[in-house]
Amino acid sequence: MRILGIETSCDETGVALYDTETGLRAHALYSQVALHAQYGGVVPELASRDHVRKLLPLARQVLAEAGLSVDDLDGVAYTAGPGLVGALLVGAATGRALAWALGKPAIGVHHMEGHLLAPLLEADPPQPPFVALLVSGGHSQLVDVRAIGDYALLGETLDDAAGEAFDKTAKMMGLPYPGGPHLAKLAASGRDGAFRFSRPMTDRPGLDFSFSGLKTQVLLAWQQSDQGDQTRADVARAFEEAVIDTLVIKCERALQQTGRRTLVIAGGVGANLRLREQLAALSRRSGVRVCFPRPIFCTDNGAMIALAGAIRLQAGQHEDTAVRVMPRWDMAGLVPVREAGRERAGAKNE
């Protein structure tokens, strides 16, 4: 099957073409960072309008790079949620209309399931069961993946997500938007031990996260410092170490609790170099396998949506002609892929 994937959940327009026989054929991504930078954050209405402008040109680009036309498609996948409602509607309406015009099936994909499955785009992909850490600007979750579509939430953030904490801390110290990547880069020049912050909720049982208190610690330390360039780097390093150490401790606990031997990391924070280094160290000392997608597939992208959609379309799952999006969508409500296949078989026998 050749599936066109569309991602428009927030401030990045992603399109990709995935072939279930040959793999990823082409992908393209447009970031709206420059558009929203002057406002210090994403403006939903501007995001929606920019998706309208960029989506079809990107789809044409991807098809041209793959050497295909729309008539060669076997289905369309689009992000149906969670995300900004206006942005989601742009992708859903485009994907649903294209599928209807071609007489092909379409599927709405859960954005976080797309992230969770992104490592399957790599060579030697992990196979369930495994533990997944979904860590981004909007989510910090540990999930027990028993099968594709069969997910059990092990722990999640009680307040700020890890990526959100990175962005807010960076903004607090006057770093440019988006702050998270700038803070991580600055942390590389920080001095070891100049500051130390707590590792939240690691002194008690459980797999939930909390980063709001850590953010307050950083604010107080920053306000009481000389706020010079070296101090900024020192604070950035101590903050990054606290967040990453917390994530690694919780991952190790989740692996021990479930008995899984594979850990999958997905989401924008998955591109963080220190996180990758610390989890590689966890792999060496414990013998568990740790799997990351390429950094380009850590952030929002069309390839992960095309892949997730292809898996579900192959199982016989698809949408009707209505355009539906779910800005809030619990991943626990997804239908396991094997059940989608059984439902299709049952419908044929009726």
Q: Are strands 130-135 and 23-31 parallel, antiparallel or unpaired?
A: unpaired
Q: Is the pLDDT of residue 346 over 50?
A: no
- As a whole number of angstroms, the longest Cα–Cα distance in the chain is 74
Residues of each annotated binding site for substrate = 134-138, 167, 180, 272
Q: What percent of the chain has pLDDT over 70?
A: 96
Q: How far apart are CA 328 and CA 132, in angstroms?
A: 20
As given in the structure block, the two tokens for residue 159 are 């307040």
Q: Is the pLDDT of residue 241 over 70?
A: yes
In 3-state terms the chain splits into helix, strand, coil percentages (rounded to 5) of 50, 20, 30
Residues of each annotated binding site = 111, 115, 134-138, 167, 180, 272, 300
Residues 6+ apart with CB under 8 A from 64: none
Cα four-point dihedral sign 329, 177, 264, 243: negative
pLDDT band of 339, cuts 50, 70, 90: low
Measured distance between the N- and C-terminal CA atoms of the chain, rounded to whole angstroms:
26
- What class, spelled out in words, does domain 128-292 have in CATH? alpha beta
Mean pLDDT of 24-44: 96
Averaged pLDDT of the chain? 94
Do 128-292 and 2-117+298-333 fall under one CATH topology?
Answer: yes
Q: Does the domain spanning 2-117+298-333 belong to CATH 3.30.420.40? A: yes
Q: Nearest-5° angle of CA 320, CA 47, CA 303?
A: 55
Residue 191: count other Cβ atoms within 10 Å of its Cβ.
12
CA neighbor of 308 nearest in space, from 152, 136, 117: 117
Residues of each annotated binding site for Fe cation = 111, 115, 300
**Residue range 319-336, pLDDT digits in tens:** 899 999 999 999 988 999
**Residue range 89-123, pLDDT digits in tens:** 999 999 999 999 999 999 999 999 999 999 999 99
**Residue range 17-32, pLDDT digits in tens:** 999 999 999 999 999 9
Q: Is the pLDDT of residue 347 over 80?
A: no
Mean pLDDT of 204-226: 95
Q: Is the pLDDT of residue 348 over 60?
A: no
**Residue range 117-170, pLDDT digits in tens:** 999 999 999 999 999 999 998 889 999 999 999 999 999 999 999 999 999 999
Q: How far apart are CA 74 and CA 4, in angstroms?
A: 8
Residue 87 sits at φ, ψ, to 5 deg, of: -65, -45
Q: Which residues of 22-45 are buried (b: 16+ CB within 10 A; e: fewer)?
A: eebbbbbbbebeeebeeeeebbee
Where do the domains of the chain lie? 2-117+298-333, 128-292
Q: How far apart are CA 29 and CA 300, in angstroms?
A: 9
Q: What pLDDT was estimated at residue 332?
A: 85
Cα four-point dihedral sign 78, 84, 85, 86: negative
Do 107 and 75 meet the contact criterion of CB atoms below 8 Å apart?
Answer: yes
Q: What pLDDT was estimated at residue 350?
A: 37
pLDDT band of 349, cuts 50, 70, 90: very low
Q: Which residues of 271-297 are buried (b: 16+ CB within 10 A; e: fewer)?
A: bbebbbebbeebeeeeebebbbbeeeb
